[in-house]
Amino acid sequence: MFVRPEDDPRTDGAGPGATERQVLVTYLRDQRLTLELKCAGLDAEGLARRSVPPSNLSLLGLVRHLAGVEQYWFRQVMAGEEVAGRHFRPTGELGSEFEGVTADPAAVAEAWETWRAEVAFAERLVEEAPDLALPARGGDEPVSLREVLVHMIEEYARHNGHADFLRELIDGRVGQ
């Protein structure tokens, strides 16, 4: 087990009387917490460990990727901010945030700091939005905040599945 049930920071949903916003925010928060749990207790070497060749998938790569996804959907698309480039995509190509992952504690700290800053930005944006129908201010896609929240839950759920397998490969820990 990653954590004892009584120590698990995640919830079992927002409850039957919750609003749509509360439900979506709660599920996204729990998916973000799951990513942190999957990475907890590993050193830089463990976080940078790749899966099986030829894949370049690693837990650190997932953190870097999700920092860029948060940046894109909330900062660029929903807030309409001009951003020079996506985090950790030096070549600009899809998936390049998985390249160049190293077992460097400073690189790990930078990835977590960047991810947490983007999550904080997203949480503020969602909290301050007048409603879930808020339209995108940037990007090429006519989407609402509601659609972005659902997409982000799906994005984290998919990658948390990858994180599950990566963690099992690293030290045998599974589930949760």
CATH code of residue 90: 1.20.120.450
100: in domain: yes
The total of structural domains in the chain comes to 1
Q: What is the pLDDT of residues 59-97, one digit of tens each?
A: 999 999 999 999 999 999 999 999 888 889 877 777 788
Let me know if residue 60 belongs to a domain: yes
Measured CA to CA, the distance from residue 129 to residue 32 in angstroms comes to: 20
DSSP one-letter code for 98: G
Q: What are phi and psi of 82, to 5 degrees?
A: -80, 125
Residue 45 lies in a domain: yes
Split at pLDDT 50, 70, 90, the class of 174 is confident
Domain for residue 120, yes or no?
yes
Structural domain that includes position 126: 18-171
Tens digits of per-residue pLDDT, 128-145?
999 999 999 987 878 999
The pLDDT value given to residue 49: 95
SS3 annotation, 103-159: CCHHHHHHHHHHHHHHHHHHHHHHHHCCCCCCECCCCCCCCEHHHHHHHHHHHHHHH
In a domain, residue 1? The reply is no
Determine the Cα–Cα distance for residues 38 and 35; give it in Å rounded to an integer: 5
- Reply yes or no on whether the pLDDT at 1 is more than 60: no
